[in-house]
Structure formats: structure tokens, C-alpha cells
Amino acid sequence: MLRNKEQQELQHVPEHVVLNILCRLPVRSLIRFTCVSKRWRSLIISDPQFGNSHFQLAASHLRQNVLIVNVSKGTLGTMVPFGFQSVQDKFSIKNLTSPFQRCSQIPVMGSCNGLVVLANFHPYVRVSRFQPCSDDYNSLVMWNPSTGFFRNIPCPNFQIGMIKLTEEENGIGVYYGFGQVSASDDYKLVVIPNLGAFMEVQVFSVRANCWKVVKAPYLSPYRPWSEELGTYSNGAIHWVSNREPGIFEPPVYAFDLANEEFREMPLPVLSRNEDGVEMTQIRTQVLLGGCLCVMFQDVMPQDANKYTEFWVMKEYGRPESWVKLFGFNLHDLPDVFDSFCSRLFWNPIFIAEDGTVVIKLRTQKELIWIKCRKEEKPFCTDRYRLEEVAEQHYAFDAILYDETLVSIPE
């Protein structure tokens, strides 16, 4: 407790000095300080100008956490929310309050500057595919897990849940991504229903609080894009097509958020792997400290996902700047990829230049931290397994997010 003299001295500290001090403190400390006064709580949690100032000062040394979205499958096929968790440094697990009052299926649609976009749709409602979204079955929210801030986003002019429901039977997919337009200090959510003959790009501007439609040609005529969730880097959302051996060499498709236009970027020229077998599939692309990164996998019929390489574009937009970071054989990690299923159903959610790779094993419900140095075999450094309840089945997703105070009120 402060003594009376100290309290009096603190009251005479100019407010701009206090703000300068607070802007330089870690997010976790500031969250604790919200109990000091109503003014501080409002400043830390709700003031977008303070949040942006703090973000600008802390951008080079932000803490990064893994957000886990865990949904359990209940009786009669209904989806029951199990919870949101934040995996912080040294495996400190923090349970988070859901931004939804009711939950069903919750795909993660992107993460940028501490803001995460989540969709909440009911997978069993059959309505016309082109009917506008219903609030009873569909909602979008932009959420800051660090502060609890959330903002509802109006739904686009198609039923996300219905497209997801009919994807397998009709060949219809939906792709999405979320990122920032730095020049205008705007954030945009991109949702692309793939209707076969063309791609209708729907873009939501947070600043304008409205959707617009951008027509685009069908850019991948041979095979669909490898991931629904696009990767945000350098003001654009990126997707990549799966490789069609001997027929089609796919580029990276970048949707520029400022110009709202697509452009193509070539992939790196790959050498053959140690067995002389050319890489045949691209499953995803991930981020490396803001740089665009792609992951290649050698998929062989008798041994799924045997070899993996990671490449980074050191200078964005310059194809000659692609550099191989490292590669590893899944058989070098028998304690992680100990079954055919685990080798087949895994995805990286973050990699770092020091060789750290964080992956999720969907079948085992685990997060794995791997260290992979050049010319050395990879090794597992840490792992976190989701807690399960008896007689419950789980679906889970995970994404990296920055610890910030950023908020964008309506």
C-alpha cells in the first residue's frame, strides 16, 4: 500500500508522463493494473489510441501465445463448446471467456496484431445456399484474447455454414483471411466462396463497417488451394495451390488488402530431396517474423509425408530471395509421428528462424514444439496435450496471436 505522502506525490505526476510509462509496460502487467481505478481500466481495455500507441512501442518484442479453440461433440451430433485456452510461455495455460453466448462450430478465420476473427455457425441448418446469414445460426466476431475486447462483424451475403456443410458433396469450398492495411489503419476480413467458374471475393472493412464484393477469375483451374485459412504478410493474404506433378506448377496467390486485387508470386525452385524424389505437394504456408514462408512435403504412397522443407522469402515480392531454412524427415521424430495417422494429420502453426516449429497433431489433440537446426536431426522440446473428458469427442484448432491491447470499437 502506498503511504499518504507517496499517494500525494503520485497525484501530481502529469498524466502524459503516466501514459508514457504505461505504454512501455508488458500487457500482462497492464491487465493487472486495470483494478487500480476506473480511469486506468477504461484506458487499458477500451482506449484504441492507447492500445495502438502501446502496440507501436512494443511491436518488436511482443509476446506470442497459442490460442486453442476446443469444441466437444455431444449427443445427437450437436457441437458443445468446451472452451478457449491460451498457451503462454513456459506452458502457462489460461482459460479464456468465450466471446459467443452460444457456440456450435468455430473456425478461426485469422489473427493480426492481437485480434483474432472467429466464425460461429450451426452445421446442421439446411437453407438456400444464397440466403443471407441468420443471427440464430451464424455470427462473426473480432476478439482480443488478451483483454477480452470483442466486436461483432455483420455476416456476408452467403451462408458460411451451408457452404461448409455442402463442400464435399458439391465441391464448393470457402477460403478466408484477416489482416491490416497499414496506410489507412484499417483491418479487413476476406471471405471467398469458391463457386467453380469464378471466385467471388467478399471483403469486410472494419473502418467502414461494411462488406463489398470483388469479382475475380478462377485462379487455380487444376486443383483447389491447399488451405482454407490464408496467411497474412506484408499487407496481403496468401494462398497456394497443391502441386499437380508434371502438369501444373502453382504460384502463391496474394490478395492485396489495400488495392483489393490478386497477384501471383512464384514459389522457390526446389532441389530434389535426399532420396532423389521431387517434392510433390504443398500443404500450407506459415509466417516467420512477418516474412512469408512456405512448407513443402514429399508425399509418397507407401510412406505419407516423409520429408518436409521450409522456405522463407527474405525480401517480399522478390522471387530470387527465397531461401531454404531447414528440412527434416518425419521418421527422425518417432516419438511425435508414431503412427500413419499422426504423419498424415499435422499442421505447422508457427516457425522461427532459429529452427523452432510449433505444430498441431489433430488426431492426438496435441501441440508439439520441435527444434530443427541445419545439418542436425530435429528433436522435440515440449508438448502440450489437451485435456479430454471421458466419452466425449473433440475437434480443436490452434493459431498464434500477439499479446496486445489493440481494440477497434464501432
Q: Where residue 129 falls among pLDDT bands split at 50, 70, 90?
A: very low
The more confident residue out of 60 and 132 is: 60
Say if residue 393's pLDDT is above 50: yes
CA-closest candidate to residue 197, choices 215, 212, 176: 215
Q: How many CA atoms lie within 13 A of 239 on its CB side?
A: 23
Amino acid 404: pLDDT: 93
Average pLDDT over residues 151-161: 74
Amino acid 373: pLDDT: 77
Say if residue 361's pLDDT is above 70: yes
Q: Are 241 and 224 in contact (CB under 8 A)?
A: yes
Say if residue 360's pLDDT is above 70: yes
From CA 320, how far away is CA 212, in angstroms rounded?
A: 35
Amino acid 347: pLDDT: 84
Q: Where residue 167 falls among pLDDT bands split at 50, 70, 90?
A: very low
Q: Where residue 134 falls among pLDDT bands split at 50, 70, 90?
A: very low
Say if residue 145's pLDDT is above 60: yes
Say if residue 261's pLDDT is above 60: yes
The more confident residue out of 280 and 360 is: 360
Classify burial at 135, counting beta carbons within 10 Å of its beta carbon; exposed 0-12, middle 13-18, buried 19 or more.
Answer: exposed
Write out the three cell numbers for 297.
512435403
Bridge partners of residue 199, in order along the sequence: 194, 216
For 39-96, the pLDDT digits (tens) are 888 888 888 898 988 888 887 777 888 888 876 555 444 445 557 888 887 667 888 8
For 175-221, the pLDDT digits (tens) are 899 999 999 989 999 988 766 555 678 999 999 999 998 877 666 54
Amino acid 104: pLDDT: 58
Say if residue 159's pLDDT is above 80: no
Mean pLDDT, the chain, as a whole number? 76
Q: Where residue 250 falls among pLDDT bands split at 50, 70, 90?
A: low
Say if residue 125's pLDDT is above 80: no
For 283-327, the pLDDT digits (tens) are 677 787 889 998 887 766 555 557 888 899 999 989 899 998 888
137-142: Cβ within 8 A, 24+ apart: 137/104, 137/161, 139/100, 140/109, 140/189, 141/99, 141/100, 141/117, 142/115, 142/116, 142/117, 142/187, 142/189, 142/206, 142/408
Say if residue 252's pLDDT is above 90: no
Least confident of 262-276, 356-370, 378-392: 262-276
Q: Where residue 165 falls among pLDDT bands split at 50, 70, 90?
A: very low
Assign 3-class secondary structure to the chain.
Answer: CCCHHHHHHHHCCCHHHHHHHHCCCCHHHHHHHHHCCHHHHHHHHHCHHHHHHHHHHHHHHCCEEEEEEEEEECHHHCEEEEEEEEECHHHCEEEECCCCCCCCECCEEEEECCEEEEEEECCCCCCCCCCCCCCCCEEEEEECCCCCCEEEECCCCCCHHHHHHCHHHHCCEEEEEEEEEHHHCEEEEEEEEECCCEEEEEEEECCCCEEEEEEEECCCCCCCECCCECEEECCEEEEEECCECCCECCCEEEEECCCCEEEEECCCCCCCCCCCCCCCEEEEEEEECCEEEEEEEEEECCEEEEEEEEEEECCCCCHHHEEEEEEEEHHHCCCCCCCHHHHHCEEEEEECCCCEEEEEECCCCEEEEEECCCCCCCEEEEEEECCCCCCCEEEEEEEEEECCCCCCCC
Amino acid 127: pLDDT: 35
Domains defined along the chain, listed by start: 4-58 (no CATH), 62-402 (2.120.10.80)
The more confident residue out of 162 and 32 is: 32
Say if residue 170's pLDDT is above 70: no
Q: Are 87 and 56 in contact (CB under 8 A)?
A: no
Q: Are 87 and 104 in contact (CB under 8 A)?
A: no
Average pLDDT over residues 9-25: 77
Amino acid 259: pLDDT: 93
Write out the three cell numbers for 171.
465441391
